[in-house]
Amino acid sequence: MNKRVLSLILAVILTLFLVACNGSTQQTEPQDSTAPSAEYVEASTEAQSDVLEWVQCGGYTWDEDEPVKNIILMIGDGMGENIIKNAEIVKGAEHATSFMPYSCYVGTDSLSGTTDSAAASTALSCGVKTKNQYIGVDGEGTPVETIVEFAKARGMKTGLVDTHIIPHATPAGMVAHDNYRGLYNDILKQMLNAQVDVLFGGGTEYSDTPKMQARIENAGYTYIKTVEELSTLSADSKAIGVFSYYDLNSNVNPSLTTMTQKALELLEGDEGFFLMVEASHIDIYEAEQDMDATMVEMQAFDKCIDYTLRWAQDHPGTLVLVTADHETGGVIVPESGLPEDVNNDCFTSGGEHTSTDVKLFAAGAQAGNILTQDKIENTEIAMIMRKVLNDTYGEKPVTLLN
């Protein structure tokens, strides 16, 4: 064997050795970097047992004759009629909304055309059509009375629960006034100034800054960040629960149902209340054209609506309204009606919002008296809530808290 052959053999052995080392490094490295922390595994497993199962809905009976003392407005962000139909195909049974005895179609366009969540929330809360990105202001940028301000003027308690960051567009439009929906620090500040009794959602990115911490304390709130601390809250103090750095989907605790359950416990009382509950991630996964993830969020919302409808059954004087701010995804229902065909091909708008009408469903106190047309504009939902609350609590001057 000459030198050249020997060095060639050595080179091959060295190369194989290096490849082997490299290969083993490549195998272990991604495992280490992607391995979830023990804490995260625990949280997500618990959340899944809480959410990832369709509930059996139905068998509800409501007293419709009582005057409206409490309103629970439930919003599925981007929850068009067809995503509900698709959820029923996957569930193999009716969605909770199908048991709500009254419904109509709702037009959602804003002054900008197809709406965003900000203009839609402003319409539902204030009763005015406005431009996209606008929060609690009309098309000229002038502040208009929000539903939280309206309720507070009547001595009612108020709550906002969502799975996005607390100052996100939909909860923002219920209370704040700004010409731009992205001013999260200012919106959160306005929510605290307005003394909303219960604020649950995500976004410690905004609430954990020293400045905001001082504001939370000065505004007299109890501030919590974990599911366990929910049990420490009492109705004696206003509560802000911020359970994640940014948003909370159905794989993160607490679930929308858990937050709603606690909010109802804290708000229930002689004063009456307005509570908004938003399933924020239906829209997010429709925008990503991810049907499986959308279905998980629809499942979570179905469960939360079922819980709320049963709560309303046991609390006469409660009106439950379920609607959407807009349709997202141009969702179609598969002709086959088969669960396996409810897939990503059902999205036809490239993940964009559409102008397709959404539905409004009503159950509980006065529900049979409020929907008199087959189709209304989203602004009329704000007017319906004002009408029934004025009947109970009387007219009051317009109130702006910010």
Residues catalogued as catalytic: 117
Residue list 344-383, contact with Zn ion (CB under 5 A): none
Measured from the CB atom, the residue of 110 and 261 that comes closer to Zn ion is 110
Near Zn ion by CB under 5 A, which window of 8-16, 240-248, 276-284, 382-390? 276-284
Measured from the CB atom, the residue of 197 and 327 that comes closer to Zn ion is 327
Near Zn ion by CB under 5 A, which window of 9-17, 40-48, 58-66, 317-325? 317-325
Size of the site for Zn ion (CB under 5 A): 4
125 touches Zn ion (CB under 5 A): no
Tokens of 296: 């998980």
Instruction: Give strand pairing partners of 135.
Output: 178
163 touches Zn ion (CB under 5 A): no
Distance in Å, CB of 83 to Zn ion, minimum: 13
Environment class of 257 (CB within 10 Å of its CB; exposed 0-12, middle 13-18, buried 19+): buried
306 touches Zn ion (CB under 5 A): no
Distance in Å, CB of 325 to Zn ion, minimum: 4
294 touches Zn ion (CB under 5 A): no
Among 196, 125, 130, residue whose Cα is nearest residue 161 = 196
Pairing of the two strands 238-242 and 102-107: unpaired
Near Zn ion by CB under 5 A, which window of 20-28, 183-191, 277-285, 336-344? 277-285
146 touches Zn ion (CB under 5 A): no
Q: Where are the alpha helices (DSSP H) in 127-183?
A: 147-153, 169-173
Cα torsion 9, 12, 18, 20: sign: negative
Measured from the CB atom, the residue of 117 and 207 that comes closer to Zn ion is 117
Measured from the CB atom, the residue of 122 and 244 that comes closer to Zn ion is 122
117 touches Zn ion (CB under 5 A): yes
Distance in Å, CB of 320 to Zn ion, minimum: 20
Among 309, 286, 329, 336, residue whose Cα is nearest residue 90 = 336
**Neighbour-count burial for 183-217, b at 16+ CB within 10 Å, e otherwise:** bbbbbbbbbbebbbbbbbbbbbebbeeeebeebbe
110 touches Zn ion (CB under 5 A): no
Tokens of 369: 């008296």
Distance in Å, CB of 328 to Zn ion, minimum: 7
**Neighbour-count burial for 329-353, b at 16+ CB within 10 Å, e otherwise:** bbbebbeeeeeeebeeebbebebeb
Measured from the CB atom, the residue of 168 and 238 that comes closer to Zn ion is 168
Among 142, 56, 137, residue whose Cα is nearest residue 99 = 56
Near Zn ion by CB under 5 A, which window of 2-10, 83-91, 223-231, 275-283? 275-283
State which of residues 77, 302, 327, 380 lies at the interface with Zn ion (CB under 5 A). Answer: 77
Separation of alpha carbons 118 and 278, rounded Å: 13
Question: What backbone torsions phi and psi does residue 252 show, to the nearest 5 degrees?
Answer: -120, 135
158 touches Zn ion (CB under 5 A): no
Query: What's the Cα-to-Cα distance from 160 to each of 102, 366, 395, rounded to whole Å?
Result: 24, 23, 23
Measured from the CB atom, the residue of 177 and 281 that comes closer to Zn ion is 281
325 touches Zn ion (CB under 5 A): yes
Measured from the CB atom, the residue of 77 and 145 that comes closer to Zn ion is 77
Separation of alpha carbons 87 and 214, rounded Å: 43
Near Zn ion by CB under 5 A, which window of 20-28, 46-54, 71-79, 285-293? 71-79
Distance in Å, CB of 215 to Zn ion, minimum: 27
- Residue numbers at the binding site for Zn ion (CB under 5 A): 77, 117, 283, 325
